[in-house]
Structure 1
Amino acid sequence: MSAPTETTFPAALAALARRFPDQEAVVAPEGRMTFAEFTRRCEELASAFAAAGLRPGDRVGILLPNGLRWLVTMIGAQRAGLVAVPINTWYRSAELAHLLGTAQLRLVVTEEKVFGKDMLAELAAAGYDEVFATGARTDGYLGALLWPAAEQLPPGIENGPAPAQGAGPEDIAMILYTSGSTALPKAVPLEHGKLLRNGHAMGTRMRVGPGDRLWFAMPLFFGYGACNALPVALSHGITLCIEEKVEGDASLAFIERERCTVSYGLATAVRALLAAPSFGTRDISSLRTGPVGFNSEDKRLAIEGLGITEACSAFGLTESYGFVTMTDAHDPLEVKLHTQGTCLPTQHIRIVDKTGAVCAPGASGEIEVRGCVIDGYLGHVEPGDTHSADGWFRTGDLGSIDADGRLAFGGRWKEMLKIKGINVSPLEIEGILGEHAEVDQAYVIGLSTSDGDQEMACVVVPDERRVADEAGLAHRLREYIRDRAASYKVPARVVVMGSHSVPQTHTGKVSKLKLREMLEAAE
Structure 2
Amino acid sequence: MESIAARPEAEAVVEPERRVTYGELGELVLASTRAMMGAGVGPGDRVAIWAPNGLGWIVAALGAQCAGAALVPINTRFKGEEAAWLLSASKAPLLVTTVGFLDTDTVGMLSSAETPLPDLRRIVLLPGSQPAKEASDAPEIEPWSVFLDRGDEVDPAAATARRESVRPTDPSDVLFTSGTTGRPKGVVMSHGQTVRLFREWSDFAGLEPGDRYLIVNPFFHMFGYKAGWLASLMRGATIFPVPVFDVPAVLSLVERERITFLPGPPTL
Task: Report the TM-score when normalising by structure 2.
Answer: 0.85
1:171 aligned residue = 170
Deviations 1:98-142 (A, max 9, x none): 101111111101122222111111111225899xxxxxxxx9421
2:246 aligned residue = 247
- TM-fit CA distance, 1:28: 2.7
Whole-Å separation in 2 of the counterparts to 1:117 and 1:82? 27
2:70 aligned residue = 83
| C-alpha contact 2:12 2:233 (8 A) present in aligned 1 | no
1:92 aligned residue = 79
Q: Does 1:72 align with 2:51?
A: no
| C-alpha contact 2:11 2:22 (8 A) present in aligned 1 | yes
Identity %: 32
Q: Does 1:235 align with 2:234?
A: yes
Deviations 1:379-417 (A, max 9, x none): xxxxxxxxxxxxxxxxxxxxxxxxxxxxxxxxxxxxxxx
**Bigger shift: 202-211 or 241-250?**
202-211
What RMSD in Å do the two structures reach over aligned CA positions?
Answer: 2.2
Residue identity in the other structure for 2:146: G
Whole-Å separation in 2 of the counterparts to 1:261 and 1:244? 19
1:23 to 10, 17, 23: 10
2:91 to 104, 116, 128: 104
Taking the TM superposition and a 5 Å limit, the aligned residue runs for 1:439-518 are none
Shift of the 148–230 alpha-carbon distance from structure 1 to 2, 3 Å rule, reads closer
| C-alpha contact 1:123 1:129 (8 A) present in aligned 2 | no
- TM-fit CA distance, 1:143: 2.2
Whole-Å separation in 2 of the counterparts to 1:172 and 1:114? 29
Residue identity in the other structure for 1:188: V
Whole-Å separation in 2 of the counterparts to 1:20 and 1:98? 41
1:205 aligned residue = 204
- TM-fit CA distance, 1:85: 0.9
Task: Report the TM-score when normalising by structure 1.
Answer: 0.45
Q: Does 1:156 align with 2:146?
A: yes
Shift of the 48–20 alpha-carbon distance from structure 1 to 2, 3 Å rule, reads same
Give 3-state SS (helix, strand or coil) of 1:53's partner.
Answer: coil
Give 3-state SS (helix, strand or coil) of 1:232's partner.
Answer: helix
Shift of the 234–148 alpha-carbon distance from structure 1 to 2, 3 Å rule, reads closer
2:135 aligned residue = none
Whole-Å separation in 2 of the counterparts to 1:56 and 1:191? 13
Query: Any gaps of 5 or more consecutive residues in structure 1?
Result: 1-13, 131-138, 271-523
Whole-Å separation in 2 of the counterparts to 1:194 and 1:140? 28
Whole-Å separation in 2 of the counterparts to 1:37 and 1:209? 21
| C-alpha contact 2:12 2:237 (8 A) present in aligned 1 | yes
2:48 aligned residue = 61
Instruction: Kindly indicate which of the two structures has a greater share of residues assigned to helix.
Output: 2
Give 3-state SS (helix, strand or coil) of 1:155's partner.
Answer: helix
Give 3-state SS (helix, strand or coil) of 2:3's partner.
Answer: helix
Residue identity in the other structure for 2:255: E
Structure possessing the higher relative contact order (Cα contacts under 8 Å, 6 or more residues apart): 2
| C-alpha contact 1:21 1:36 (8 A) present in aligned 2 | yes
Structure 1 stretches of at least 4 aligned residues deviating more than 3 Å after TM superposition: 127-130
Query: Any gaps of 5 or more consecutive residues in structure 2?
Result: 130-142
- TM-fit CA distance, 1:92: 0.7
Greater gyration radius:
1
- TM-fit CA distance, 1:29: 4.6
